[in-house]
Structures are given as structure tokens and as C-alpha cells.
Amino acid sequence: MNRRQIIVSSFVLGIAVLLMGCSGGLKTPTLAFGKPLPDKYNSPDGMTLGKDNCIYLSMNNVNDFTHPAKVLCITEDDQLEEIVQLPAHPETGVASPLGLVFASDGNLYVSDNQSFASEKPGLSRIIKVTMNNGKATGCKVVALGFNMANGITTKGDRIYIAETNLNAGKPHKSGVYSFTLAELNSESPIVVKGLGDSHLITSFVTKNEDHPVGANGVAFNSKGELFVCNFGDAQVLKFIVDDNAKVQSQEIFAQGGGMMSVDGMQIDKEDNLWIADFLGNAVVKISPTGEVMIVSKNGQTDGANGELDAPSECIRRGDRVYVSNIDLTYGDNKADKVHTMSLIEL
């Protein structure tokens, strides 16, 4: 290109960017709660909407594990309330919750991902928090042996949980386990064994060797179809599973489209998938037909003004989307001292 061509093409690019801005293509998030989180809440992650319309939130605290991990709720008027402090793992001395979900028994099931606390495989767990009228009445470990327990969801009398790393060499493999509530409520916890375990309903490969991070967000839509995020490949898989959690079919539902990764996922009442793109610093909406829309996105930041800062989960409540900025040191992100959640008005 000569100088004139460069000037013209820069001008055209400038107009295009301006038009995107004018059409309101990307939404600008603000600070949830109008201020940063206190140090005792330093790494928010998984969220689920309760029947009481509170958003239940895993406060993982990986940025400073000296503060114990808790489950909080975001009330309808945006107050943060503590539900329970989770039991520390006997070997690592911490709990490290990611996904959480209410099952049909009314109790909360929480993924405790110990891979942030120790390099030793197999330490991650499922913790059941017994709930009564919005109050936690106890915690019990109901399953053990995961390497990286991550997203968790439910359908009928079953729990489905993403295992982000099956620890099976190259290429990177991950998958989804399913358990009945009855299995999880026996006297002794279930111990999973990885590939070959009868509870593992599917396993798949992540091709991206720069980011060998697999199954992450998991969620069912209103038709009972199961969606699973494959983080490193920026890919969402769709599964048809029967009531016994046998996979009948699977396909790639969405991939790429501006997404750099797919971390936590929640599905709204209109069957839109809401996905946190950790690597892309973005919040993504995927329509029921698989159309990928980047709703909000920004560069690297500490998040002090409400920007997305390594977001790991987002959830819609009414016309607002709440975003957990886990702000974990990974990829281009460096954990910083400003702990935040973002809010996007639709």
C-alpha cells in the first residue's frame, strides 16, 4: 500500500469502528454494587439463580486464600449476604469453589476445585450444602477424586459436573460426570476414577495446545439439551442425554465467532447461553440457534471502573447480567488488588 492507500484504509477502519460504537454494538459494564469487593471477597466465580431470585455466588478467593472461601448471595436489591463458609480440604487447608447449583432436593451442590490450591491431582470434590429456607444447615463432601471440578448443573434427580482435566496425557482430555442424588447422599462419598469411570458420560479433546483447558461451563436449556463449554477451543458442544444420562447424540453448537475461550455458562429463560470469555475479556450471548454475539469486551485492566477483568462466569437476572471477574493469573491476565464484579444492563 502507498501512503494515500494507508490513509484511506485507516479512514475506512475509523468509520467502521465509529459506526460499531454508535450502533451500541458493545455494552459498557459498570461496577456491580457501585464499588469494588472487599479483600475478603477477592475472586468471585460460579453463580446460580435461586427460587428466591437471589444469585448464589461462589467466592473462590484464589487471589488470596488466607480469606476462607464462602457461598454468598446477591439479594434482589444487590446486597451481598453470606450463606456459608465452605469446609477446607484436609490436605490443602482451603476450599476453592467454582460452579454451584440447586438440585431438586433443594440443596446446593458446589464444585470444590482444588487444582488452584495444589498440583497434586485428584483432590477436587463436590460439597453438598444442605439448605433450609434460604439458610445453610450443614456441609458434607459427597464426591471425591476430581482433578479440576468446574461447572455444575442439574436435571431431574441428577447432577452433572465438568471435569476440566482428565489427566490423560496429550491431547488434553476432559469430560462430564453425572450422578444421581441418591448416589451422592449415601453414607460414603463417591470416588471418581477418570477415564473408564461409569459415571463419566462423555469425554472430549481440546486441540488448542496453548490453552489445554477443557470442559468448563455446563447447563441445560428448557428443552433438556445439555451444553458444555470446551474452554481452550472456544467451542460449545451440545448433547442429547436420556434420563439415565446416556448420551444419544452430540454436535458442535458454536465455536469461535470472536470468542477466544468459553469459561462459565448459564442459560436464561429465553434459552440464550451467557458465556464468560476469560481469555477475551468478554461476555458472550449465544442465541438458541447458535448465533454468537459479543455483548461486552475490553482490553487488559484491573477492572476498577467496572471493566471485565478475566471474567469466569456471567448470569442474567431480569435485564441485568452479573459478571464474576475471577482475575486469576493465567494467559495475558495478571491478578491484581482490585476485586470486582461487573454489571451489564440489557
| Chain residues that interact with Ca ion, rule: CB under 5 A | 150, 216, 263-264, 302-303, 309, 327, 333, 336, 338
Nearer to Ca ion, 104 or 312 (CB): 312
Three cell numbers written together for 169: 496425557
CA atoms within 13 A on the CB side of 29: 35
Q: How far is the CB of 252 from Ca ion (least distance, A)?
A: 20
Q: Which is nearer to Ca ion, 225 or 309 (CB)?
A: 309
Burial category of 26 from C-beta neighbours within 10 Å (exposed 0-12, middle 13-18, buried 19 and up): middle
- Find the shortest distance in angstroms from Cβ 220 to Ca ion: 17
Give kind and range of the element (H or E) at residue 17.
Answer: helix 3-22
In the bound state with Ca ion, the residue whose beta carbon lies nearer, of 213 and 245, is 213
Contact 251, 236 (CB under 8 A): no
Of the two residues 298 and 333, which places its CB atom closer to Ca ion in the complex? 333
Collect all residues with Cβ–Cβ distance below 8 Å to 265 and sequence separation of at least 6. 151, 216, 217, 218, 219, 227, 229, 236, 273, 274, 275, 276, 313
| Residue 310: CB minimum distance to Ca ion, A | 6
236-240 own/partner pairs: CB under 8 Å, 24+ apart: 236/262, 236/265, 236/273, 236/275, 236/286, 237/204, 239/202
Query: Which cell numbers in the block locate residue 297?
Result: 469486551
Q: Can you read off the three cell numbers belonging to residue 220?
A: 441445560
CB-nearer residue toward Ca ion: 74 or 262: 262
Report, in Å, the least distance between residue 152 CB and Ca ion. 10
Q: Nearer Cβ to Ca ion, position 208 or 242?
A: 208
Beta carbon of residue 132, minimum distance to Ca ion (angstroms, whole number): 28
Least distance (Å) between residue 103 CB and Ca ion = 19
The grid cell for 265 is: 455458562
